[in-house]
């Protein structure tokens, strides 16, 4: 079994899900008392959020590259960045380490293709929805991306940062996200990517009638595949 390096804490609420899903899946596949070999580096999220909103992606890239390097030195065989937004600097981080970085966008794209989707809606932070890196990554797989309008993007962004990252789950906010998804369907979305690792905390497949791609679970399960191959 390979050792998984996790860059977490962005937020710790979703990193907890990574840890749970990976360990449950390893035990499901191997049985007995098996669990995953994991090295976790959890950041102080306040520092990351401040730098994100200041658009200091260069500093964030250096920060995550340094952390990835520490995980490599500690014995990780490959690394995951446990957040969608920070994949804006994933290519830079990969260039700074010798071990593989398992990119969440590639994992989600592969699952979308397996599901036969060609047009996908994208929900996430403002950075994920607006900065183009996620759309570019999905485009390499021939996927067309639709995003919410400006007002809906703000609704989703605020729910993520003001509520979900702080462990606040509100039915009223779930209803707002469901309405955003309905509008994405009208734009042609055949499925919707929950492109923020906190969004699966509030929304499940049974809540909507369009296929959802849970980026947290997809990324975690691909990590298990890679660890056990």
The pLDDT confidence band at residue 222, using thresholds 50, 70 and 90, is very high
pLDDT digits (tens, 9 = 90+) for 113-146: 999 999 999 999 999 999 999 999 999 999 999 9
The reply to whether 4-103+217-228 and 105-215 are identical in fold is yes
pLDDT digits (tens, 9 = 90+) for 143-185: 999 999 999 999 999 999 999 999 999 999 999 999 999 999 9
Task: Identify the H or E element spanning 10.
Answer: none
Given a contact cutoff of 8 angstroms between Cβ atoms, the answer to whether 84 and 124 are in contact is yes
What CATH code is assigned to 4-103+217-228?
A: 3.40.50.1860
Residue extents of the structural domains in the chain: 4-103+217-228, 105-215
Residue bearing tokens 């056990």? 228
Peptide bond into 199 cis (omega under 30): no
Given a contact cutoff of 8 angstroms between Cβ atoms, the answer to whether 141 and 116 are in contact is no
Strands, E, within 30-140: which ranges? 38-42, 78-81, 119-123
Mean pLDDT across the chain: 97
Q: Where are the alpha helices (DSSP H) in 119-170?
A: 126-130, 133-139, 150-162
Q: Which of 15, 83, 85, 197 is catalytic?
A: 83
Q: Give pLDDT, residue 183.
A: 98
Q: Count of residues for the chain?
A: 229
Spatial CA neighbour of 96 closest among 76, 70, 119: 70
Q: Which of 85, 196, 197, 216 is catalytic?
A: 196
Annotated active-site residue 85? The verdict is no
Annotated active-site residue 107? The verdict is no
Q: What is d(CA 55, CA 15) in angstroms, rounded to the nearest whole number?
A: 23
Strands, E, within the chain: which ranges? 4-8, 38-42, 78-81, 119-123, 144-146, 191-194, 212-214
CATH topology of domain 105-215: Rossmann fold (3.40.50)
């Amino acid at each position: 079994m390979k050792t998984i390096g996790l860059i977490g804490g962005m937020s710790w609420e979703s990193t907890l899900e990574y840890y749970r899903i990976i360990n449950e899946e390893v035990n499901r596949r191997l049985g007995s008392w098996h669990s995953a070999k994991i090295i976790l580096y959890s950041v102080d999220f306040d520092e990351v959020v401040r730098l994100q909103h200041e658009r200091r992606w260069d500093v964030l890239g250096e920060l995550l590259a340094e952390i990835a390097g520490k995980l490599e030195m500690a014995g990780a065989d490959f690394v995951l960045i446990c957040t969608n937004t920070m994949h804006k600097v994933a290519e830079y981080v990969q260039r700074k380490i010798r071990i593989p970085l398992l990119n969440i966008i590639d994992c989600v794209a592969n699952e979308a293709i397996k599901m036969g989707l060609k047009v996908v809606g994208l929900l996430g932070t403002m950075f994920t929805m607006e900065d183009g890196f996620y759309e570019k990554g999905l485009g390499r797989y021939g996927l067309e991306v639709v995003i919410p309008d400006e007002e809906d993007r703000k609704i989703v962004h605020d729910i993520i940062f003001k509520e979900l990252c702080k462990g606040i789950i509100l039915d009223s906010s779930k209803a707002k996200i469901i309405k955003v998804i309905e509008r994405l369907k009208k734009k042609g979305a055949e499925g919707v990517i929950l492109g923020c690792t906190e969004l699966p905390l509030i929304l499940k497949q049974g809540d909507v009638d369009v296929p959802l791609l849970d980026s947290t679970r997809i990324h975690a399960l691909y990590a298990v595949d890679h660890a056990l191959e």
